[in-house]
């Protein structure tokens, strides 16, 4: 009899876990769908079309590119503003040390490495404001390094 109770308990736990995983994947309104990386000269960002002026650009009907530079201790641009129900490709680099780039509470997450361009594509649904956090220790201001993503 005890075995059956424990079995039922285990099944309930598994179902709860599956439920929370599913919620985590579809709940937040920002979902990462692709990622990759390329090289760049970290000392020549000012001469790069994308990063000389960090910004958001519309590249298709519901498609946007966000060129983001991480630095000690923040992100440019901030806020990053994109419309709801769009696909956003973030191209992210760093002008100094290694940083993280994570849209808080979602699976959109990558590293910002000097000399590299990380690319992640996310789908954003409903209007909402998100924090962008650095999840790599990058110096004295690491804990306060924060950006904003506004889905409008």
Interface with ligand CUA by CB under 6 A: which range of 7-15, 27-35, 114-122, 138-146? 138-146
Among the listed residues 99, 94, 120, the one whose alpha carbon sits nearest the alpha carbon of residue 40: 94
64/90 with CB nearer ligand CUA:
90
Question: Stretches 9-17, 24-32, 54-62, 134-142: which one binds ligand CUA (CB under 6 A)?
Answer: 134-142
Q: Report the C-alpha gap between 138 and 56 in whole angstroms.
A: 25
Spacing of C-alpha 77 from chain mean position: 14
> Phi, psi at residue 48, to the nearest 5°?
-95, 130
State CA 30 to chain mean position distance.
Answer: 9
Judged by CB under 6 A, the residue of 128, 142, 148, 150 near ligand CUA is 142
Our finding on whether 6 is near ligand CUA (CB under 6 A) is no
Kindly list the residues in this chain that would bind ligand CUA in the complex (CB under 6 A). 73, 99, 134, 136-138, 142, 145
């Amino acid at each position: 009899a005890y075995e059956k109770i424990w079995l039922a308990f285990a099944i309930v736990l598994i179902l709860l876990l599956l439920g929370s995983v599913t919620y985590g994947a579809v709940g937040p309104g920002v979902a990462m769908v692709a990622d990759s990386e390329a090289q760049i000269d970290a000392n020549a960002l000012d001469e790069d079309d994308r990063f000389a002026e960090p910004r958001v650009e519309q590249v298709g009907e519901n498609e946007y590119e966000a060129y983001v530079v991480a630095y000690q201790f923040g992100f440019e641009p901030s806020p990053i503003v994109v419309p709801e129900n769009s696909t956003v490709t973030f191209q992210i680099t760093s002008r100094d040390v290694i940083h993280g780039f994570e849209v808080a509470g979602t699976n959109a997450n990558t590293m910002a490495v000097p000399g590299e361009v990380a690319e992640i594509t996310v789908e954003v649904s409903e209007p909402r404001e998100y924090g962008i956090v650095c999840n790599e220790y990058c110096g004295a201001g690491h804990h306060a390094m924060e950006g904003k993503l506004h889905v409008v």
